[in-house]
Amino acid sequence: MAVITLASLAGAPGVTTAAAALAVHWPRPVLLLEADTSAASSVMAGFFRANLRTTDGGVEKLAFALSRNALYPEDIFDPELALAIAVHELAPIRTAPIPALPEGHRMWVIPGFSNLRVADGVRGLWGKLPTLFAALDEAGFDVIVDLGRLDIDDPRLVLVDTADQVIFCATSTMVDLNRCFRRLEVEDLAERARRGDPDRTWLLLNTPVAEAHPAKEFSAHVLPVIGTLPHDPAGAAVFSVGRPDPKPTRNAYRSGIRRVVADIDSALDRSSQRKAS
């Protein structure tokens, strides 16, 4: 089992969209945590299409429970506590459907902030989450964390340090190549992004509408590339804004995500084998 953290080094290259899509197609039970501190929750209005109330789950309630040392791994999945939303248990909604999960897949979501005024007041939350994630790991659950954009000396860097895999999202343009290269020169990421296991830290690229830059250039000058997602705005919109997806087998973005999931899983296996040996 594993903790995978996704983040942006610059701009808005679809981190939340990719995190949601990865969670939908993840091969094991998974918890998706939206931990972006720069904007209100995207998944509540987008992935869930505003079908749910903000009280149905959220990082603010999680922070409240952790601040009182009153949270155990099983509490995450307790519907009475309403910390996480069990996507696989939601009733079908014809008029505004939530993206369908593969049959038998179990996925929970802890949405991000509904009130950004409290985001700065929960800085202590991030340092407590690795212990919670380790307990979830032992219980057989994987965790995908959406950090959104990382600021310099971001208090959430502890979630980068303790993740099994770190995936930085970018658009495959010269602009993002330069942005990522320069951001990784800053002291807070200069060492931590490149140290340790060669299968731990990756780039996930989105293909732009024009002027795509080769992935090999990112691998040579920034970080190795785990995959490149196709330019498919309609397919990505299934996960970003809840667009209906009547023909998922023809969704190029979904197909790209499935390939990335397989590559991430292979990298996790290599890391596990390396640690075991």
pLDDT of residue 153: 93
User: How far is 224 from 242, CA to CA, in rounded Å?
Assistant: 31
**Stretch 124-144: mean pLDDT, rounded?**
92
DSSP notation for 201-269? EEEEEE--SS----HHHHHHHT--EEEEE---HHHHHHHHT----S-GGG-HHHHHHHHHHHHHHHHHH
- For residue 144, give the 3-state DSSP assignment: strand
Cβ(203)–Cβ(170) under 8 Å? Answer: yes
**Stretch 126-133: mean pLDDT, rounded?**
93
Single-letter code of the amino acid located at 62: L
Across the chain, what does the average pLDDT equal? 91
pLDDT of residue 144: 98
pLDDT of residue 256: 96
pLDDT at 187 over 90: yes
Give the best-scoring range by mean pLDDT among 56-60, 116-120, 264-268: 264-268
pLDDT at 198 over 90: no
Cβ(4)–Cβ(145) under 8 Å? Answer: yes
Going by pLDDT thresholds of 50, 70 and 90, the confidence category of residue 196 is confident
pLDDT at 207 over 90: yes
pLDDT digits (tens, 9 = 90+) for 27-55: 999 999 999 998 889 999 999 988 888 77
Q: What CATH number does the domain containing 34 carry?
A: 3.40.50.300
- Strands (E) across 87-200 are located at 107-110, 142-149, 165-171
Give the chain's domain count: 1
pLDDT of residue 33: 97
Domain with 124, as residue range(s), is 3-276
